Structure 1
Amino acid sequence: MEDEFAKLIRRINPPRVVIDNDSCEDATVIQVDSVNKRGILLDVVQVLTDLNLVITKAYISSDGGWFMDVFNVTGRDGKKLYDQELISYIKKTLESDDHFVHSLQRMVGLVPSEEHTCIELTGADRPGLLSELCAVLTDLCCNVINAEIWTHNARAAAVVHVNDGRTGRAIEDPERLATIEGLLCNVLKGNNDLKIAKMTLSPPGVTHRERRLHQIMFAARDYEKIERSEGTVVHDQNSRPRVVISDCTEKDYTVIIMRSKDRPKLLFDTICTLTDMQYVVFHGVVHTGRTEAYQEYYIRHVDGVPISSEAERERVRQCLQAAIERRCSEALELELRAEDRLGFLSDITRIFRENSLSIKRAEISTKGGKVKDIFYVTDVAGNPADPKIVDSFRSQIGPGTLQVKWNSDSSSKPAEQTKTISFFWGNFFTFPSFLIKSCS
């Protein structure tokens, strides 16, 4: 009855979205007014984030039965939004009752699928892990269609779409899936005592892929501190996100204030984590400067109670820090475009491993027989990648194009390479040593 009543109220008071290019000098202002419902803030932020928009400011208010938010946004180029097709899409999507149907390419858990099987992987991170996983999938004649891989605090998580390399269809045979699971879990376990290695099929229903990765990493408790092995870089604590949690006794809220380096998708990551931890943001403000972002939220648990213990306070602090740090922003970004083939990803990741480069995060996509892979890499100790090693790839990999995007804050950025560089790699596709055995 409550659900039907909520639907009635929403039909009587449908969402209203106003997109304004006049009131702000340097950003497009998007105002969203709607009947309040649980998770609506994340829904809106997710739509804007999936469109690769940059949220420079946000004002959040959802106390009572009404949701009123204002977002200042730009494109990745820092300019206002003038594309009428894009503006119409934003308005139509945010005013609809089913935000998610418009961005299925970022969804997992679409069960069943005839084109691919969606698997989720969790394990202890180590240099070369992705290379070993890809080698196993290639040996099992599994072709990786799309994937996203995150690592943080010695944990690794991945959502991977695979199909049968022989038929191009989803893998459904239970025995074959059991074999894949057993071999992948053996790789994920390695020699580490962390009992987090597992492979599962994505659960039924629709879940945003990056939100699912946050959930997997949270379940693996990547927010907990672990002992660092020798040779691993321990980053300056002053560079970590600063999270201060206090009480607002007058209004019975918990106040969270965060300061961190600004980066794309920062707002999505923090709101996603608070939502999945069962907290509701009633009021908030977000400001971003040239390098730093400021976020302030007034929250309660979904049961209406603010944070009541120091242990809970510390857990929320650790989880928010982890949410911000999971997208490695200090690594070197490499973008590869090439023709797809079975085993391509296995070969590429093997060459990373052989050159002592560690993949901290990766986004794998295939469309129309073309590969677009983005890798974020450091050396095996977590230090910035050596430009000379990147340059050495040219003699090992073939006619794909590699774009190298140097982090402006990285000390390893060479003076003569401040712009995007394209390398046309050697003869990767013609060397016999790289041939893949046939799937028989």
Structure 2
Amino acid sequence: MERVCWPYFDPEYENLSQRINPPRVSIDNATCSDCTLVKVDSVNKPGILLEVVQVLTDLDLTISKAYISSDGGWFMDVFHVTDQQGNKLTDRKTIEDIEKALGPKSNILSTDGKSWTGKRVGVHSIGDYTAIELVGTDRPGLLSEISAVLANFHCNVVAAEVWTHNMRVACVVYINDDATCRAVDDPKRLSAMEEQLRNVLRGRDEDGKGACTSFSMGFTHTDRRLHQMMFADRDYEGGGVLEGDGIVSSRPIITVDRCEDKGYLLVNVRCKDRPKLLFDTVCTLTDMQYLVFHASIVSDGPYALQEYYIRHVDGCSLDPLGEKERVIKCMEAAIRRRVSEGLSLELCARDRVGLLSDVTRVLRENGLSVTRAGVTTVGDQAMNVFYVRDASGNPVDMKTIESLRQEIGHTMMLNVKKVPTNAEAPESSGWAKTSLSFGSLFERFLA
């Protein structure tokens, strides 16, 4: 038998450029007087921009400017960042976290998607948890019904994030067993819970169109997953006039043009600035299978200006008109998913099974609809934030807030904040904020 010889291929060859040129990160506090420059140089790979932006976003840093270039197989980014107070980065722990996540010893060039663990929506409870993902048609009182099902199964909600957009809802809920403080892993119990949650999501829609429930024992980056879920649910379709508290909201201005000589699509975005905006837009471009070759990001007062030069990952040129319209719709959806108008209610109370169910029931009974929510558990304290609107679309009456005070004010702190509805009045500039603190439990929480 004739012997066949194949040329030798070193399995380490593909990683040679990464080993010769490992990722580099520079933290520069000298160049600018009002911000810190975070410079990242690395061999390029699909999705690396999202990973870098995710790291900075998860560290609660504000990105005021960014310059991105990834032509020629090399990735070079410069980010102008500050902390939540608008100051330069001086905290050694934060700087070390950036260097660890993006520097030579990081795994941002790995292919397993686990380069940065990120935040787990503030999960600080002891023990394991089970993640539940829910997608369906939004309606007033839905979160109350979901949390009631979980309470009936004696599950404690240790963290959750809920988004609504275009009458669709997506949420990731982290639960554990009340008795063991560990993940719920009994197949029969999970199956029964899943059936009841699906019935809740179906509501009056008998065919349950779009209703989906799934369980996971593994880790997921919640904001990243919520974008994926809503994108897969095609929440960018439909829409129409955007309203908030009876006032027509300013829509983002998005244009898409072709650069025929370079083969790029040029995407320009102008909208009201807000935290995590860059993460949301980059997330959606990644979900749409686009590569960002160049980008410029600037926050100009209350507005953000973003410019992206992109190509589809497979290099194919799609139908020009249809492609442009889809990019515009998807980018607008990415911006709107996290936008909330009306009132935000911040509640702090001792954690217990059924707390979320009780609070959301009170909101429903007072005619309030939850448009976005965040649930966090720290030790024995539950800190919940609900963005609410009147279920009928009218401005929330302060008498309703007084009624809330009467019902839940004896056992928790209630903090009420009006969320702005226009770009000329950003959230940080003087909106009324009312703190209502009742009973003695909250003083014991802080002790």
Structure 1 residue 384: deviation in Å?
4.1
Distance 1:420 1:287 in 2: 29
Where do residues 34-433 of structure 1 align in structure 2 (5 Å cutoff)?
34-95=42-103, 96-98=105-107, 103-106=117-120, 115-192=128-205, 195-202=209-216, 206-225=219-238, 236=248, 239-397=250-408, 398-409=410-421, 418-425=431-438
Q: Is the 8 A contact 2:340 2:372 kept in 1?
A: no
Q: Is the 8 A contact 2:244 2:341 kept in 1?
A: no
Q: Is the 8 A contact 1:61 1:283 kept in 2?
A: yes
Structure 1 residue 106: deviation in Å?
2.5
Distance 1:8 1:381 in 2: 61
2:365 maps to a residue whose letter is: E
Farther off after superposition, 120-129 or 10-19: 10-19
Distance 2:25 2:415 in 1: 38
Q: Is the 8 A contact 2:342 2:420 kept in 1?
A: no
Q: 1:173-232, CA deviations, whole angstroms, 9 ceiling, x for partnerless residues? A: 211111101111111111136601121113x8653211100111111111010589xx99
Q: 1:96-133, CA deviations, whole angstroms, 9 ceiling, x for partnerless residues? A: 4336566454289xxxx962111100110011110111
Farther off after superposition, 45-54 or 333-342: 333-342
Q: Is the 8 A contact 1:124 1:196 kept in 2?
A: yes
Distance 1:349 1:371 in 2: 14
Distance 1:194 1:309 in 2: 35
Distance 2:436 2:244 in 1: 30
Distance 1:144 1:205 in 2: 16
> How many residues end up aligned between the 2 structures?
418
Q: Secondary structure at the match of 2:199?
A: helix
Over 3 Å counting, the alpha-carbon distance change for 1:408 and 1:2 in structure 2 is farther
Distance 2:137 2:166 in 1: 9
Structure 1 residue 84: deviation in Å?
2.2
Q: Is the 8 A contact 1:396 1:428 kept in 2?
A: no
Distance 1:347 1:86 in 2: 37
TM-score (norm 1): 0.88
Query: Over the residues paired in the alignment, what is the CA RMSD in angstroms?
Result: 2.8
Over 3 Å counting, the alpha-carbon distance change for 1:232 and 1:220 in structure 2 is same
Q: 1:80-107, CA deviations, whole angstroms, 9 ceiling, x for partnerless residues? A: 1122221222122211433656645428
**Partner residue of 1:7 out of 3, 15, 22:** 15
Q: Is the 8 A contact 2:201 2:208 kept in 1?
A: no
Q: Is the 8 A contact 1:394 1:426 kept in 2?
A: no
Q: 1:285-319, CA deviations, whole angstroms, 9 ceiling, x for partnerless residues? A: 01112211111000001112355432122111111
Runs of 5+ unmatched residues, structure 2: 1-8, 109-113, 443-447
Distance 2:255 2:209 in 1: 32
Distance 1:3 1:97 in 2: 21
Over 3 Å counting, the alpha-carbon distance change for 1:83 and 1:69 in structure 2 is same
Q: Secondary structure at the match of 1:123?
A: strand
Q: Secondary structure at the match of 1:327?
A: coil
Q: Secondary structure at the match of 1:71?
A: strand
1:349 maps to a residue whose letter is: T
Runs of 5+ unmatched residues, structure 1: 430-440
Distance 1:3 1:285 in 2: 37
Q: Is the 8 A contact 1:328 1:376 kept in 2?
A: no
Distance 1:347 1:243 in 2: 41
Distance 2:412 2:290 in 1: 45
